[in-house]
Structure formats: C-alpha cells, structure tokens
Structure 1
Amino acid sequence: MVLFKSFEDYVPGVCHEFGSYRVSEDEIVNFATNYDPQLFHLDKEAAKKHAFGGLIASGWHTCSMIMRMMTEHFIAPAASLGSPGVDEVRWLIPVRPGDTLRLRVSILSTRLSVSKPDRGIVNSLIEGLNQNLEVVVSLKTTGLFLVKKCL
C-alpha cells in the first residue's frame, strides 16, 4: 500500500489502483430507500422490467463507495484540507449486486498554492472499476494538501 503523507507525495502522471469493495443487494436497496428512491434501485422484480434489466446501484451510492476507498487508500489523513469540488461525474456502466469495485486514481497535475504557501493543489482523475476492469464511474477532483514543511 502506498502511504500518502503530504502534497509532495502526489506525483503527476502516476496512476494508483486500490481497494476492493463487494456490493450487496441489501446495501443498494438501503441506500436507495434513504437517498435515491427510484424503482430500479429499490425493487428487484420491478427493475427487471426497466431498461437496465435488473436492480442497479444509485450513481450517488457508487460515488459514495468510491469516496470510501479514496479515504481509506488515497487521501493523506494528516495533510488533507478537503476539496473545493468535483467535476465531470460520469456514470458509465450500472453497478449491480455482486459487483466488486476497485479504485484507480491518476494524478493529472499538482501545483503549490500562490495565495496560501502552506498547501498544494492536486488534480486527479478518479475511476471506479468493476470486476471486469470496466470503468463504471469517473470524476475529476481537486484536493488541497499541506506541504511537508507544515506538517
């Protein structure tokens, strides 16, 4: 496992893969019940008649699972200062019960903040892959991290 400790540990052009998360039917239905109550997320039988042909996870649930893997494997706990935003969220392939997801992070660019020299800015492409290595979700993120001398 790669251990990220500060801004300097994020290197442009480097790609990392992390995690393994198996998605359950109960989890899909529970998330949908609370946050995205669309029929194809809630009811296995009704979902069979839908265009997706079966129960699928909410895209927001998929993003939540990816975020979990990011916090466990990628975001430097001591150095993270949060994120000003996420761009270009794309749900490319439905996530289904029994799928196993993993995370791929490509560091696109880094730069020191001009206005706040204690931190750096990391731009990344985040991709969630299923067990067939198909990209199911992608998003571009910007993260803020303390520089080494400030830790």
Structure 2
Amino acid sequence: MDEYYEDVTVGETRSFGSYEVTREEIVDFAEKYDPQPFHTDPDAARNSMFGSLVASGWHTASISMRLLVDNYLNESGAMGSPGLESLRWLRPVRPGDVLSIEVRTTDKEPWDGDRGVVESHLETVRDDGETVMTWDSLVLFPRA
C-alpha cells in the first residue's frame, strides 16, 4: 500500500489511458449486460438515434473503472467505495474510439477513526478530446 488518506492532496489531477474500444467488445458486453439493439445489432443501430453501433454507458463506466484500478487504485491504499454522487453519459462511444481518464481529487474528510473518504471527479475522454462520461465518486482510504 502506497497511499494513505493523509497522503491524498485535494486538487491533484491524474491522467491514465489509453484504451481502444472494439466492435466485438461492444457487442459482447451488451449481449451480457445491456442488450439494447443499438448496442448489439449494427443494422438496428444504423436506424437508431445514434446512426451506428455504440457502447453501453455501463461498458464505458467499466472501461473507466479498469483504467482507474490498473493505473492507480491497486497501488494505493483504496479500500472500496460507498458509491457515486453522480454519473453522466455525455456522448456515445463507438468502435475504434480510444478512451483515457482524468481524475481530480475534489475533497476529503475523515470517515471514522480508521478511514477517510476521498471525493473525486472523473472524466472519460475520447482521443478527439471530447468528454464522453463523468462521475463523482467517493473512495475510502486508511488513515495512518
């Protein structure tokens, strides 16, 4: 464990990525967890408001979580999360999009005698610079 609650700095920003989203991955995820036609069927997706196959928002959130865990949380003292304050899907994610994340620590406060809660704002960004998703989360860290 490399980071305790006391080590977290409000205002710090970390960036991680990149992850290329594939057509096969979009369809596989959607068939298991969000089988709406614009996620699973390219023909139906062409006739949807999106005009082509798009990833489930839950898939985008899962990719973002994977980037966060692999590049930060697994090496920190993070102990899990009591939840999200907000989650917004702003733009569709399509096959071939390359995603990265930026996480900014927005606040922190003691949770109890052994833990503190860290509030963060995460933005998932396509390689064209457009933000596709945001969330505001809470993560527990051990206190030193």
Instruction: Give TM-score scaled by structure 2 length.
Output: 0.94
Residues 113-148 of structure 1: per-residue CA shift (max 9 Å, x gap): 2xx22211100001100001111000100000012x
Instruction: Give the secondary structure class of the aligned counterpart of 1:133.
Output: coil
Match of 2:90 in 1: 92
Instruction: Give the secondary structure class of the aligned counterpart of 1:79.
Output: coil
Aligned residue runs from structure 1 range 55-74, under 5 A? 55-74=53-72
Match of 2:52 among 51, 54, 58: 54
Aligned length: 144
Match of 2:101 in 1: 103
Letter of the 1:126 counterpart: L
Q: Is the CA contact 1:89–1:139 (under 8 Å) kept in the aligned structure 2?
A: yes
Aligned residue runs from structure 1 range 12-51, under 5 A? 12-51=10-49
Following superposition, the deviation at residue 56 of structure 1 comes to 0.2
Residues 32-65 of structure 1: per-residue CA shift (max 9 Å, x gap): 0000000000011221111101000000000000
Distance (whole Å) between structure 2 residues aligned to residue 59 and residue 4 of structure 1: 31
Moved segments of 4+, more than 3 Å: none
Match of 1:140 in 2: 136
Instruction: Give the secondary structure class of the aligned counterpart of 1:69.
Output: helix
Instruction: Give TM-score scaled by structure 1 length.
Output: 0.89
Match of 2:124 in 1: 128
Task: Using the aligned pairs only, state the percent identity.
Answer: 41
Following superposition, the deviation at residue 110 of structure 1 comes to 1.1
Residues 69-97 of structure 1: per-residue CA shift (max 9 Å, x gap): 11012225452211100121100000000
Q: Is the CA contact 1:127–1:135 (under 8 Å) kept in the aligned structure 2?
A: yes
Instruction: Give the secondary structure class of the aligned counterpart of 1:126.
Output: strand
Distance (whole Å) between structure 2 residues aligned to residue 79 and residue 93 of structure 1: 32
Q: Is the CA contact 1:5–1:76 (under 8 Å) kept in the aligned structure 2?
A: no
Q: Give 5+ residue unaligned stretches, structure 1.
A: none
Distance (whole Å) between structure 2 residues aligned to residue 29 and residue 48 of structure 1: 14
Q: Give 5+ residue unaligned stretches, structure 2.
A: none
**1:11 equivalenced with 2:4 (yes/no):** no
